[in-house]
Every structure is written in structure tokens, then in C-alpha cells.
Amino acid sequence: FLSLGKVFWLAGSLLIIGLASVVNPTIGWRWLIRIASIPGILLILVFKFIPESARYNVSTGNVAAALATLQRIAKMNGAAMPEGVLTEPPKERRGRFKDLIHPKYLRTTLQIWIIWLGIAFAYYGVILASAELLERDLICGSAAAPGQGSGGDSEESSSISSPCYCRLFGPSAYQTMIISTAGEIALNPLNILGINFLGRRLSLCITMGCTALFFLLLNICTSSTGMTGFLFMLRALVSANFNTIYIYTAEVYPTTMRALGMGTSGSLCRVGAMVAPFISQVLMSASFIGALCLFSSVCVICAISAITLPIETKGRALQ
């Protein structure tokens, strides 16, 4: 279900690209940001309708709230509650940060953090590199930088030496972005099969290794169609990486520290997302192959971290 939930992430991604193709050329990118913030505001209003986890409530001693949640679920499904009394297990101490770095979980936690950081770095790197590739039109036989090749106008001449330039996307650029974004759902069936039959670690290692390979393939001299194909596969692979590590992290920690484990991993994920623009837009301007090699190297490190994780959660009961 976590993997299938990516359909809605994809829907949002496609919606914002479609919206940008209409709003950017007409009323500008600032209005795009304003319109895109509306769903987030609406989401705040519907949070109260999301039921709390019954398992979490029981683990914190709030049995009444857990029972109310289960009764609500039974009513929604037209089923009767099982007979008996919901009993509270021996009270467990809530997870703390030092539990994540306890010798029992230290190696797992450190490797998970590396993987989350690397996956976010690669994911947002692909998105930003896509924009950079489309803006610079870096396909075989095209100009390497905007402003080259025609006329002697001073504005064009200055754009060659200055990193500050802006060229609006045309319809074909938005079309390429839509096609490559659709890749985020392309490998979902294979991803689901992989994590269930090969296991979480091996599946993640394979997709991370393939991500590293496709980053390097972006340097191949190819047509516009070929470049779109590479970006499509990259988006498919980085999405599969996110699916797998999200599932693994949720499974590897016990209930009392699961939210803490997910939260700290998410923080490292943001660090990767913050670093990505400097590589995909700054370093890529200075050295295209250098930026691709860096992205690829990080993916290789993540693949090694994935295959050497000390715990395989496939078929393992939640603690």
C-alpha cells in the first residue's frame, strides 16, 4: 500500500507541471507558487479527520482512544467488533534519540541515514538536472550553453560568461517533464515484486546501482527522445528507491521508536534535498560530467549501504 500510494504523489507532480505550463507564461511563477500552496492550506483543515493509530494509542496507555478508533473502523467496514476487552500491554518507555544510536541499532541507523540522504540527493538532483538539461538544450548537436551560436548582441554575449540567464520553457520542455515524471509510477509493479520476493536490501541495492548507471548515461550524445528516455528511467528508479527505503525504515524499528526513526531519517532526507541544487545547477554549469559522476558515486555508496544493512525485514513481524 505504501508503494501504491505513490500514485497520488505522481498525480500531484503531473498537476503542478500542467499548471506551470499555463500559469508561468501568462501571470508568472509567483502566482504558480501561490496557487500551489492552496492544497497545503486545505490539508491542515482535514488533519483532524485522520484517525490516530490504535497501536500507538495502546502503546502510550490511551486504551479508550484506541478502542474508539477500532470501533470507527468496524463501523466503516460494516463489521462487528470482536468479543473481548482491549487490554493494555506492560507499559513501554517511549523511544528516545539515544535509542536510535544504541549498539543494537547504531549500525542500522547510520546506514539508513546515509541511504535517505543519498536518495533525496539523487531524487531532487534528477528533477533539477532535468530543468537544467531542458533549459540548456543539452542534446547531441545542440549548443552547450544558452546564448551561443547566433548574433553578436551584447545581451547574448554576456550570457556566455555569466551564470545568470533565464530562458522560458516551451511546450516541448513541459511535455518532456510530464513524460519523465510519469516514470515515477512505471517501475511500481516491479518494485512491489522486488521488495516482496528479493527482499528490501537486495531490491534497494539493485535500483540504486541502476540509478548510478543512468546518471552516467545522461552524458551520452543522444537525441531529444533518448534524453527523455534516460530521464524517464531515472525518475522511475529514484522513485523506487524512495518506496523501498520508506518501507524498510518503517519496518526495522519497533513501534515505540518508529516515528522517531522515520522523523530523523526524514531530516537527513531534507539535507540531501538542500545540497542537490548546488550540484545540479551550480556544479553542472562548471562541469557537467563532474556533477553526473558525483550523483552516480553517491548512488553507489547508497547501494553498498543497502546490501550491507544488518537486518532484512522481508517476512519479519513488526516489533
Is the pLDDT at 222 greater than 80? The verdict is no
pTM: 0.73
Give the domain ranges of the chain: 95-140+168-318
Give me the pLDDT at residue 159, please.
43
Amino acid residing at 80: A
- Determine the CATH number of domain 95-140+168-318: 1.20.1250.20
CA–CA gap between residue 114 and residue 90 (Å, rounded): 34
Taking CA atoms, 37 is separated from 23, 123, 158, 208, 270, in Å, by: 14, 22, 36, 32, 19
Average pLDDT score over the chain: 81
Mean pLDDT of 210-219: 89
258's CB contacts (< 8 A; 6+ apart) are: 95, 250
- The terminus-to-terminus CA distance of the chain in angstroms comes to 19
Is the pLDDT at 149 greater than 80? The verdict is no
pLDDT digits (tens, 9 = 90+) for 39-96: 888 888 888 888 888 877 887 778 888 888 999 999 999 998 888 877 766 666 666 7
pLDDT digits (tens, 9 = 90+) for 27-38: 988 999 999 999
Cβ-contact 53, 258 below 8 angstroms:
no
Share above pLDDT 70 across residues of the chain, in percent, rounded to a whole number:
87
Is the pLDDT at 151 greater than 50? The verdict is no
Is the pLDDT at 155 greater than 60? The verdict is no
